Structure 1
Amino acid sequence: MKSIIKQVLTFLPAVLLSLPLFAQDSVYKVSLRDVLELAKQKNRQINIAQTEQDAVDADLRDAQLSKLPLVNINSSYQRFSKVTLYDGGLSDGHSIKRPPTPNSAALGVESAVTIFAGGRQNAAIREQQIRKDLASLNTLDLSGNIFLQAISAYLNIIRLQEQDTVIIEQIKRAETRVKNIETLFRNQKVTRSDLLRAQLILDNQRLSREQNENDLAIAISRLDVLLDLPRHTQIIPTDTVNGEKPGTASLRDLVNSARETSYAILRSQQQLKLQENRIKAIKGAYLPTLQLYSAYGVNYPNNLVFPPVDQAYSVGFIGVKAQYSLSSLYHNKNKEKAAKLRLNALQTQESAIRDDVDQEANALYIKYGESLNRITVAESSIEQASANYRIVSAKYFNQLALLTDLLDADNLYLESKYNLIKSQTDALAFYYRLLYTSGKL
C-alpha cells in the first residue's frame, strides 16, 4: 500500500504540471496576421498545391534534360551449339564446331543527339515552363482564397463575440426591467399581461444568446478546420473591428489595377501562352528532324572479313540522320486549325474575365464605401437610441408610456448596436475581398 501511495505521489506533480499545458494547447489567442500565417503553414489544400508546384518544377527539369544526348550501353554474349551439315539429305548429317569459334560477344556504346526538330523540343520545354508558372499562380490563388475564408471566419467570430456582449447587456436590462415590473405589479400599478410579456421577452433573449453561442462555436470550428488545428480548439481573436479603416480614395488604384493583377486574369494570360506554344509545336511538325548519332564497340569474333577470324576487333562511326514525315502535310492541317480556334476562344474568354473582374472590383469598392457610411450612421444611431431608451424607460415606470413603447425602444437600441457591428465587419470583409479580387491577398 505504501509503495502505491509513493508511486502516486511521484507521478502526481507531473500530471498537475501537464494540465496547464493541455489547457494552453486548447486555446489560441491570435491576431489576424497569426491566422494567415497558420493558414499558410498548416492548411492542407495549400500544402497540396505547393506539392503540385514542386512536381511541375521536376517536370520542367526533365524537359530541359531531354536536349542532352541519349547514351546507351549494349552488351551481349552467345554460345553456339555445333553446326549440323547435311550433304545427301536430312538423313545424312554430321556436326562440326561453328567456325571460327562457338563463342560470340559484343560490347558497345551508342549515342544520339537531336540538333534540329523544328522547334518542338524548345516548345516542350516552354510548355513545362508555362505549366510551372501556372502551378505557382494556382498556389497563390488558392492561398489567397484560403486566406479570404480564414479572414471571413475570423471576422465572423469577432462579430458573434461582440453580439454576445450586446445580448448580455440586453438580458441584464431585461432582468432589471422584469424586477421593476414585478414591483409595480405587486403595487397594482401595471397589469399581469405586462409582467408576462416582459418575462417572455427575457426568455426569448436568453434563447437568442444560446443561438449566438452555438453560431460562435460553429464559426470557431470552421476556422479550426481551415487552420488544421485540433478539434474543439478555442480561438480568441486579439484584433478588433473598431480601428481606423482605409479611406475609399486610397483604394481607387487597387480597383483600377484589378484588370491586370487579378489571379483570374493572370491565369487566363498563362492559358493563352500555353495555347500559342502548342500552335508553335504543331507547326514544328512540318519541319524535318536532324540527328547526330555515333557508336563504338568491341566485337568477337571478327565477322568483317571472310572467312571470319577468331579474333576481337573494335570499330566506331559517327553520322547524321535526317527524317521528314510526309504525312505531316495532311495530318497536322486540322490540328493547327483546331488549335487556332481554341486560341480565339481563350482570347474571347480573357476579355470576358477582364470585364467580370472589373465589375466585381467596382462593386466591392462601392459596397466598402457604403459600409463606411453605415458605420458613421450607426455610431450616431446608438447615441440616439440609447437616449430614447432612457426617456421611454423613465416614462414607462412613471406610467406615462406603454410597455410596447419600452420594448420597441429596447429593440431599437439593440438593432443600432447590431448595425454598427455588422457595418464594421462588412467593411473589413469587403476590403479583403477587394484585395483578393485585385490579386493582392
Structure 2
Amino acid sequence: MKYINKTNLLLLSLFILQITVAQELPERKMTIQQLADSLVAQNIQIKLADVSVKLADARIGDVKMNRLPDIGADMNTMYLSDVTIYDKHWSQFQKVDLPNFGHQFTLSAKQLIYAGGRITKGIELAELSKNLAENQFTDLGLGVKLNAAELYLNLYNLQNQKEILLNNEILANERLKNVKLFFDQNMVTKNEVLRAEVLRRQLEQNILQIQNSIEITNKNLLLYAGLREEVLIVPDVSNINHQIREQDEAYFLELAYKNNPQLSISDIQIAMSKKNLELTKAENMPTLAAFSGYNASRPMTSSVPALDFYSTTYQVGLNLSYNFETLYKNGKKVLVDKVLIEQAELAKIAVMQQIETQVNAAYKNYRQAVMQTEVSAINEKAADENYRITELKYKNQLVTITEIIDASNTKLQAELQTLDDRTAIILNYIKLLRVTGQL
C-alpha cells in the first residue's frame, strides 16, 4: 500500500461509494415484450394520442347532429302599457286603454332537405380525421417503442460493458500484485509498477463513468416506460428472435409500403384534401329546407279596442336559399384546395422515399453487424489467447510490462467490440421492425 497516495485513496473511495449507491436499487429483469406492455399501459405520449382518437370519434357524433332538425321554443311574459296617441305636433290627442299583462309563445322547427351534400361530406371528413388520428396513434406507438428499445439496448450494452471492465479490473489487480512481487525481488523497475497502477486506475475511472451512464439511462427508461418504482432494470434479450433468415431488402421494402402507418397517414391526408375540395364545390349549390312554426300571443292588439284574448297562428313551408357570393369567391378556394391536394400527394412521395432509405439503412446495418460479429468473435478469442500467452511470458520475465498492457488493452477492446456488434444486430433488427410496422 506504500504506493497508494491520498489521490488514489480518494478515487477508490468514490468508486466504492458509487457501487454501493447503485446496489441500493433492487434489480428487476425485463424482457423487450414486458417493456412494450408497460409502454402501452403507462407512456404519457401514447395516452395523449389515445385521447386524440377519442376526441376525433366524438367529433363524428357532433357533425352527425347536423342531420337532425333545428327545434326551438320561445316564451315571453310582459307588461304592456296603454297606448297614447299624439298629433303631428306631439300634443296628446287620445289615450287608449289596453290589457296590460301579456304572453307570447313561439315554437319553430326547421329540417334541412338538401345542401349539396355538405353534411354528408362533413361527416365523411370527420371520419377521415378519426382514421388519421388512429394511424397517428399507431405511428407514435411505434416511435415510442423504438425510442424505448434504444434506451433498453443501451442499458443492456452499458451493463455488459461494466461486467467486462470489472473482469478486466480483476486481471489488472492480479497483474499489479505480480508486478509488486517482482519489484520486491528487484526483478523489475518501479516504472513497471507505476504503469500497472495507472492501468488499474484507468479501469476504475471507466467503471465510474459506465456506472453513471447506467444510472442516467435507467432513470430515463423508467420515466419513458411510466414505471414509478425505483428499480434497476436488467434487460433480458434472450427471447428476442433477431433473425431475418433469407428475406432480402425488397421483401422488407414491400412490407414497409404495406404496413407502415406513415403511408396510411399520407393517403388519408390526400383523401381529406380531396374531401375539402368537394365541400368547397358543394357551397355553390342551393339549400332547401322545410320549416314549421306555431305562435300564440295575448292580448290581441290588432283589433280595436284591444281584446284580452289569445291569438294563435301556425305556418308550414319550404325555404330555398342561394348564396350568390360563392359564384365569385369559391373559385379561389377551389384553387387553394387543388394546390393542397398536390402538396399532399408530393408529401406521400417524400414519405415513400424516407421509408426506402430507412429500410435500406436498417437492412444493410443489420447485415454488417452480423458479419462484424463473426469477425469480432474470432478477434476476441485471439485476443484472449494472446493475453494468456503474454501473461505467461511476463511471469517468466520474457516480455516487458508494456507488452502485457498492450495485450490487456487489445483483449478489452475486442470484448467491447463483440458486445457492440451483438447489440447492433438487435437494434437494427428492431429498427427494421419499426419501419415495416411490425414493432
* Fold agreement, TM-score > 0.5: yes
Report the counterpart of residue 96 of structure 2 in structure 1: 96
Task: Verify: 1:247 aligned to 2:212, yes or no.
Answer: no
Task: Verify: 1:180 aligned to 2:178, yes or no.
Answer: yes
Q: Alpha-carbon deviation of 1:242?
A: 8.7
1:27–1:302 distance in 2 versus 1, CA, 3 Å: farther
Query: How do 1:27-66 residues align onto structure 2 when only pairs under 5 Å count?
Result: 28-66=28-66
Tell which deviates more after alignment, 165-174 or 119-128: 119-128
Report the counterpart of residue 295 of structure 2 in structure 1: 297
Residues 368-420 of structure 1, C-alpha deviations (whole Å, 9 max, x = no match): 11112222222222221111111111112212222222112111211121112
Distance (whole Å) between structure 2 residues aligned to residue 290 and residue 47 of structure 1: 44
Distance (whole Å) between structure 1 residues aligned to residue 203 and residue 72 of structure 2: 82
Is this contact kept in 2: 1:106–1:299, CA < 8 A?
yes
Distance (whole Å) between structure 1 residues aligned to residue 401 and residue 57 of structure 2: 72
Is this contact kept in 2: 1:84–1:94, CA < 8 A?
yes
Q: Secondary structure at the match of 2:295?
A: strand
Task: Verify: 1:80 aligned to 2:77, yes or no.
Answer: no
1:428–1:188 distance in 2 versus 1, CA, 3 Å: same
Query: How do 1:320-335 residues align onto structure 2 when only pairs under 5 Å count?
Result: 320-335=318-333
Is this contact kept in 1: 2:242–2:429, CA < 8 A?
no
Tell which deviates more after alignment, 52-61 or 171-180: 52-61
Distance (whole Å) between structure 2 residues aligned to residue 247 and residue 89 of structure 1: 103
Distance (whole Å) between structure 2 residues aligned to residue 164 and residue 225 of structure 1: 23
Query: How do 1:391-402 residues align onto structure 2 when only pairs under 5 Å count?
Result: 391-402=389-400
Q: Secondary structure at the match of 2:200?
A: helix
Is this contact kept in 1: 2:366–2:425, CA < 8 A?
yes
Distance (whole Å) between structure 1 residues aligned to residue 200 and residue 437 of structure 2: 48
Q: Secondary structure at the match of 2:356?
A: helix
Q: Alpha-carbon deviation of 1:440?
A: 2.0
Query: How do 1:141-290 residues align onto structure 2 when only pairs under 5 Å count?
Result: 141-230=139-228, 233-240=230-237, 245-250=242-247, 252=249, 253-290=251-288
Q: Secondary structure at the match of 1:164?
A: helix
Distance (whole Å) between structure 2 residues aligned to residue 242 and residue 260 of structure 1: 27
1:267–1:146 distance in 2 versus 1, CA, 3 Å: same
Is this contact kept in 2: 1:255–1:365, CA < 8 A?
no
Q: Alpha-carbon deviation of 1:300?
A: 2.5
Q: Alpha-carbon deviation of 1:132?
A: 1.0
Output the amino acid matched with 2:169: I
Tell which deviates more after alignment, 428-437 or 291-300: 291-300
1:425–1:25 distance in 2 versus 1, CA, 3 Å: closer
Q: Alpha-carbon deviation of 1:313?
A: 3.7
Report the counterpart of residue 440 of structure 1 in structure 2: 438
Residues 200-248 of structure 1, C-alpha deviations (whole Å, 9 max, x = no match): 10010111111110010011011122123337x2233251369652134
Output the amino acid matched with 2:234: P
1:27–1:403 distance in 2 versus 1, CA, 3 Å: closer
Is this contact kept in 1: 2:70–2:109, CA < 8 A?
yes
Residues 4-50 of structure 1, C-alpha deviations (whole Å, 9 max, x = no match): xxxxxxxxxxxxxxxxxxx9996543222221111111111111111
Q: Alpha-carbon deviation of 1:287?
A: 0.9
Q: Secondary structure at the match of 1:368?
A: helix
Is this contact kept in 2: 1:70–1:111, CA < 8 A?
yes
1:242–1:126 distance in 2 versus 1, CA, 3 Å: closer
Report the counterpart of residue 339 of structure 2 in structure 1: 341
Distance (whole Å) between structure 2 residues aligned to residue 88 and residue 329 of structure 1: 49
Q: Alpha-carbon deviation of 1:425?
A: 1.3
Distance (whole Å) between structure 1 residues aligned to residue 177 and residue 135 of structure 2: 62
Tell which deviates more after alignment, 397-406 or 127-136: 397-406
TM-score (norm 1): 0.88
Output the amino acid matched with 2:411: Y
TM-score (norm 2): 0.89
Is this contact kept in 1: 2:155–2:235, CA < 8 A?
no
Q: Secondary structure at the match of 2:258?
A: helix
Distance (whole Å) between structure 1 residues aligned to residue 301 and residue 83 of structure 2: 17
Report the counterpart of residue 139 of structure 1 in structure 2: 137
Q: Alpha-carbon deviation of 1:120?
A: 1.4
1:129 to 109, 116, 127: 127
* Number of equivalences: 416
Distance (whole Å) between structure 1 residues aligned to residue 94 and residue 203 of structure 2: 114
Identity %: 24
Query: How do 1:310-325 residues align onto structure 2 when only pairs under 5 Å count?
Result: 310-325=308-323
Q: Secondary structure at the match of 1:258?
A: helix
Distance (whole Å) between structure 1 residues aligned to residue 43 and residue 110 of structure 2: 47
Report the counterpart of residue 112 of structure 1 in structure 2: 110
Distance (whole Å) between structure 2 residues aligned to residue 300 and residue 311 of structure 1: 6
Is this contact kept in 2: 1:263–1:437, CA < 8 A?
no
Output the amino acid matched with 1:249: E
Tell which deviates more after alignment, 367-376 or 86-95: 86-95
Distance (whole Å) between structure 1 residues aligned to residue 88 and residue 281 of structure 2: 64
Q: Alpha-carbon deviation of 1:267?
A: 1.4
Is this contact kept in 2: 1:292–1:319, CA < 8 A?
yes
Output the amino acid matched with 2:50: Q
Residues 306-347 of structure 1, C-alpha deviations (whole Å, 9 max, x = no match): 776443243322211111122111100011011101211221
5+ residue gaps in structure 2? Answer: 1-22
1:324–1:154 distance in 2 versus 1, CA, 3 Å: same
